[in-house]
Structure 1
Amino acid sequence: MQIIQSIQNRIYEIRGERVMLDYDLAVLYEVDTKVLNQAVKRNIKRFSEDFMFRLSVDEWESMRSQIVTAYSNGTSKVQILSFNQGKRNSSMTPFAFTEQGIAMLSSVLHSDKAINMNIAIMRAFVEIRKVLLQQNDLKEQLRLIKDKIGEHDAQLNQIYDALENILDEKAAQRKWEDRDRIGFSR
C-alpha cells in the first residue's frame, strides 16, 4: 500500500488529465530518464498525443515552483527532482504520460522491475478513480440532503404560519370575552 501512496504522490493533473512525468516514471522503473525517453522515441508510434505530451515551458516552470514549495520542509521530492533533473537538458521540458501512455510503456520496457511497477501504477490509478467516484457519490448525497432540507424548510414555514394564525385567533377570542359589557345586566 505504501508503494501505491508513493505512486499517487507522483500523479499530477495537467491539461485536465491525470499524468505522471518521465523523471518520476524513471525513478519508479529504476532507469535513467534519458533511457526511458529513448525507449519511447524508438517506439513513438505507440504514443499518440492522448497517451503522452511534452509540457510547455510555462507548465513546467509552474510545476517546478509548486513542487519545490510543497516539499521545501522535506527532502525526498526535492532531492529526486534535483537528482533526476540535474542531467536533463534545461531547454527540454519533461514528457507527461497519461494512464494509457503508462500502460503502453509496459510494451516498451521489458524488465521485471518495469512490469511490476507498471502493475502497481495501474493499481494506483484505479484507487484514484475509486476515490473520485466516492467523492461524486458523496456530492450527490449532499445535494439530495440539501434538497430535502429545502423541502423541510418550506413545510416548517407553513407550520409556523399556521401556528401564528391559531395564536392570533386565540388572542382575538380572549379580547372579545374580556371586554367590558355595556347595556343591561341581570
Structure 2
Amino acid sequence: MAKNKDAALMPVEHISRSILVLRRQRVLLDRDLAEIYGVSTGRLNEAVKRNAARFPEDFMFQITEPELQNLRSQIAISSWGGRRYRPFVFTEYGAIQAANVLRSPRAIEMSLYVVRAFVQLREMLVSNKELAHRLDELERKLSTHDQAITGILKTIRELMHTPAPKKRPIGFTANLDE
C-alpha cells in the first residue's frame, strides 16, 4: 500500500510545480494541462472551444501580452513553441471541466491528481498564514519582553552607580551654621 501512495504523490508534486499564480488565482497553462491529460495543446483547446459555455471567465481565460512577457521572463524561455496566440490558463475548476470535456480515461484519472495538487497548495497557504500569524505574535511578545529587559537593566545600572556617601570630617568640628 505504501508503494501505491508514493506513486500517487509523484504526479501531485509534478502538477504542483506547474501551477502558476496569475490575477491572484492559481492556474495551469493550457500546454501543461494538455501534457498532464496526455493530449496535444491543440486538441485541448479545440475541445474547450467546442464547449465554450462550460468555461466561464473564472474557469479559464487567455493571458494578456504583459502577462505573457512576465511569464517568459520568469520561466526564462524565449518562446512558447512557436504559438500564434497567447496561451489560455485554467483555474482549478477549469482544469476539472477540461477533463470532463476530453473524456479520455487518462484525463479522468489525472484530474484527480490535479485536484489533489490544488488542494495541497491551498493547505500549504493556510499553514503558511498560520505560521506567519504565530511569528507576528512571537515578535510582539519579544518586543514587550525587550522593553521589560531594557527597563530592568536600566534599574540595575542605576543601583550600581549609587552616589558616594557624604564624608564626615574626622575629629571635633563645630557646627558653624547654628
**Residue type of the alignment partner of 1:181:** P
Name the CA distance, whole Å, in 2 between partners of 1:36 and 1:13.
21
Q: How far apart are residue 108 of structure 1 and its match?
A: 0.9
TM-score, normalised relative to structure 2: 0.84
Q: How far apart are residue 143 of structure 1 and its match?
A: 0.5
Question: 1:144-183 maps to which residues of 2 (within 5 A)?
Answer: 144-168=137-161, 171-172=162-163, 174-176=164-166, 179-182=167-170
Question: 1:1-186 maps to which residues of 2 (within 5 A)?
Answer: 1-68=9-76, 85-86=81-82, 88=83, 90=84, 92-168=85-161, 171-172=162-163, 174-176=164-166, 179-182=167-170, 184=172
> Quick check: 2:37–2:99 contact (8 Å CA) kept in 1?
no
**CA offsets, 1:104-156, max 9 Å, x none?**
22321211100111100110111111111111111111101100001101111
Name the CA distance, whole Å, in 1 between partners of 2:67 and 2:13.
24
SS at match of 2:165: helix
**CA offsets, 1:31-85, max 9 Å, x none?**
111111111111111111111100112221331232235xxxxxxxx9xx86xx3
* 1:75 paired residue number: none
> Quick check: 2:100–2:108 contact (8 Å CA) kept in 1?
no
SS at match of 2:26: strand
Name the CA distance, whole Å, in 2 between partners of 1:68 and 1:154.
48
SS at match of 1:184: coil
TM-score, normalised relative to structure 1: 0.81
Pairwise CA RMSD: 2.0
Structure 1, unaligned stretches of length 5 or more?
70-77
Q: Percent identical across equivalent pairs?
A: 37
> Quick check: 2:68–2:86 contact (8 Å CA) kept in 1?
yes
| Count, aligned residues | 165
Name the CA distance, whole Å, in 2 between partners of 1:103 and 1:2.
19
SS at match of 1:107: helix
Structure 2, unaligned stretches of length 5 or more?
1-8, 174-178
